[in-house]
Structure 1
Amino acid sequence: MFPHLTALGIQDPQQIERYSLRQEAHKDVLKVYFLKQKGELFAKSVKFKFPRQIKNVLVDGGSNQYREITEISRSLTLIIDELNKITKPEQLSDADIKQKILADLSHLENVVSNKIAEIEADLEKLK
């Protein structure tokens, strides 16, 4: 019934509670969260990374200038369609969208600061 999700290795798609999707560099990161099982402290989740499709788009026909753009891969759109059938996501209000953007920014800040600390630690080792 959900061939794209089972192709990812998800054995029981009906156990999916929600998902999140974000973009990192030239990849889309899909995180699928499952229903919390009895006795588990945290719900199980799995993460998948999909490379973005790169396309050259004509910017100005007169000068033959092209610009490289990236977009979500077709396989990921099919997976998201299946996830939407399972999770039936609700439409977000503007306030919810703002909160999501702020959460994404906070996550990005954490990722960048952790990476900077890692690089600085590597530099210290070289001294």
Structure 2
Amino acid sequence: MSDYPTLEEMGITSFDEITRYSLRRERDVDVLKIYYQRPKGSLRSRSKKFSFARPRKSIPLEFRGLAEWKDLKDSSPTLQKAVEELSRLTRPETVPSNQDLRTQFLEELDHLEKVMNAKIGELRRQIEELK
């Protein structure tokens, strides 16, 4: 029996390589992203993203932008269990400083920029092939 059954059900097996995770909300979906420490040159992905749909609520559209709407505790039970397991796995020992957060955001921004540039280059090559 595993210590992390929910993560295993989600297809995660490299527990020792998990470094951190992030959780955000995109409209009516919770997005969990798990980051891995991979050896240099590894072909395996450095992160995995999971989306969990939130149940539709009968809340009028004009109220959905308010803080109360964002604070609803209606996320998926699977997501809640996964976050609890990830918290045990990553055990943040200290609260990250502003400098740590700044560094993390800059790293994520650099990664996003590389991904976007690669995608733009790929699309440009495809367009050129159509000529």
Fold equivalence (TM over 0.5): yes
Aligned-partner residue type, residue 87 of structure 1: T
Unpaired runs of at least 5, structure 2: none
Selected match of 1:82 from 73, 85, 95: 85
Q: Using the TM superposition, give the Cα deviation of residue 108 of structure 1 relative to its aligned residue in structure 2, in angstroms.
A: 1.1
Selected match of 2:127 from 114, 123, 126: 123
Closer, same or farther in 2 for the Cα pair 1:117/1:22, shift >3 Å? farther
Q: Considering fraction of residues, name the structure with more strand.
A: 1
Q: Using the TM superposition, give the Cα deviation of residue 31 of structure 1 relative to its aligned residue in structure 2, in angstroms.
A: 3.0
Q: CA RMSD in A?
A: 3.8
1:18 paired residue number: 19
For the pair 1:92 / 2:92, whether they are aligned, the reply is no
Aligned pair count reads 116
Q: Whose RCO is larger (CA < 8 A, sep 6+)?
A: 2
Q: Using the TM superposition, give the Cα deviation of residue 118 of structure 1 relative to its aligned residue in structure 2, in angstroms.
A: 0.5
Runs of 4+, deviation exceeding 6 Å: 40-46, 69-72
Identity, % of aligned positions: 24
The separation in 1 between residues aligned to 2:41 and 2:129, in whole angstroms, is 36
- TM-score normalised per structure 1: 0.63
- TM-score normalised per structure 2: 0.61
The separation in 2 between residues aligned to 1:32 and 1:60, in whole angstroms, is 35
Q: Using the TM superposition, give the Cα deviation of residue 85 of structure 1 relative to its aligned residue in structure 2, in angstroms.
A: 0.7
Q: Using the TM superposition, give the Cα deviation of residue 29 of structure 1 relative to its aligned residue in structure 2, in angstroms.
A: 5.5
**SS of aligned partner of 1:91:** coil
The separation in 2 between residues aligned to 1:29 and 1:111, in whole angstroms, is 19
Q: Using the TM superposition, give the Cα deviation of residue 22 of structure 1 relative to its aligned residue in structure 2, in angstroms.
A: 6.9
